[in-house]
Amino acid sequence: MGRIRRLTGERRVGHAGTLDPAATGVLPVAVGSATRVLEFVSDAAKSYVAEITFGVETDTFDADGQVTGVKDPSALDLTEVARVLQAFLGSQRQVPPMYSAVRVGGRRLYEEARQGKTVDRPARPVVFHQLDVLAWDPPTVTVYVECSKGTYVRSLAQDLGVALGVGAHLSALVRMKAGVFTLCQAWTLQELAGLDLASVWAEVALHPDVVLDEWPALILNDAGANDWSRGNAVAALRMEERCRVYDEEGEWLGVGAGHPETQAWRPTKVTAVAP
């Protein structure tokens, strides 16, 4: 984030989720007021292309770790791999890897792992929306993964290897999509460093409300926009769980939550302050 701050000259910078050091792909970065919507990107589903290699297990569940087990995967065939992989579809309980940023007892798991410790950690609910085999080059399978937030694809590789009885690790990973952001939209830090960002910002950056594109929109007149910008609720003719809010000129005013008991929209995030 330090490089983004230097490139943009903006102190308020954040990102939605992290990528393992060996992984590449989409990492949404928010600058300025866009940091107000990061939580909605973090909650969104993510998509990956994952390369899983059978026969070798590691302590980190990926290629960066120390080898902890080796077995012969030569008897595996694609039909069996695909069949077992499909068993992971849907809602699952997943144990996070020891080398992860999850906190247990107030400490990051990777801090304990680096000291040679193994900590009991509770399984967490995750959802695999899609698991499709893209390629089979024994002993490696390439899989398209679409999953919920908080999912560790490294753990999927480890669990798949255990289920097939030969062990496995994640040998490569590319994040293709995070919420509405896709790899084809992404910029590298090197590309950004070569641009005059002040003059091309509209081409490089997306408006913060893009992450709310599927939400209903509430358009307020001058009086309503003034009330909203002061943090006051406005009457609702139609009630939804949440909405994105604009004035009649199209300026984004923030995010609201519906309150059926009062038939009103209440501001949860205000991005434009009334004069």
Pairwise pLDDT comparison (20 vs 212), residue with the higher score: 212
Q: Is 195 part of any domain?
A: yes
Q: What is the arithmetic mean of pLDDT over 210-216?
A: 90
**At residue 136, does pLDDT exceed 90?**
yes
Mean pLDDT of the chain: 90
CATH of the domain at 229: 2.30.130.10
Q: What is the arithmetic mean of pLDDT over 83-112?
A: 85
Q: What percent of the chain has pLDDT over 70?
A: 99
**At residue 20, does pLDDT exceed 90?**
no
Q: Is 275 part of any domain?
A: no
Q: Global pTM? A: 0.85
**Which ranges in the chain belong to alpha helices (H)?**
2-8, 38-42, 78-86, 109-114, 153-164, 189-193, 197-204, 222-229
Q: Is 105 part of any domain?
A: yes
The boundaries of the domain holding residue 118 are 49-61+70-172
Q: What is the arithmetic mean of pLDDT over 79-92?
A: 96
User: pLDDT per residue over 227-269, tens digit each?
Assistant: 999 999 998 877 788 999 999 999 999 999 998 888 899 999 9
Among 20, 59, 62, 209, the active-site one is: 20
Question: Six-digit token pair at 43?
Answer: 């909650």
Q: Is 114 part of any domain?
A: yes
196 assigned to active site: no
Q: What percent of the chain has pLDDT over 90?
A: 57
Considering only 13-17, 54-58, 112-116, 233-237, which range has the smallest mean pLDDT? 112-116
pLDDT of residue 129: 97
pLDDT of residue 226: 92
Are residue 258 and residue 198 in the same domain, yes or no?
no
Q: Helices 153-164 and 78-86: crossing angle, nearest 10°? A: 120
Q: Is 191 part of any domain?
A: yes
Using a 10 angstrom Cβ sphere, with 0-12 exposed, 13-18 middle and 19 or more buried, the burial of residue 226 is middle
Q: What is the arithmetic mean of pLDDT over 141-153?
A: 95
Question: Six-digit token pair at 16?
Answer: 């939605």
CATH of the domain at 53: 3.30.2350.10
Are residue 128 and residue 167 in the same domain, yes or no?
yes
Are residue 23 and residue 121 in the same domain, yes or no?
no
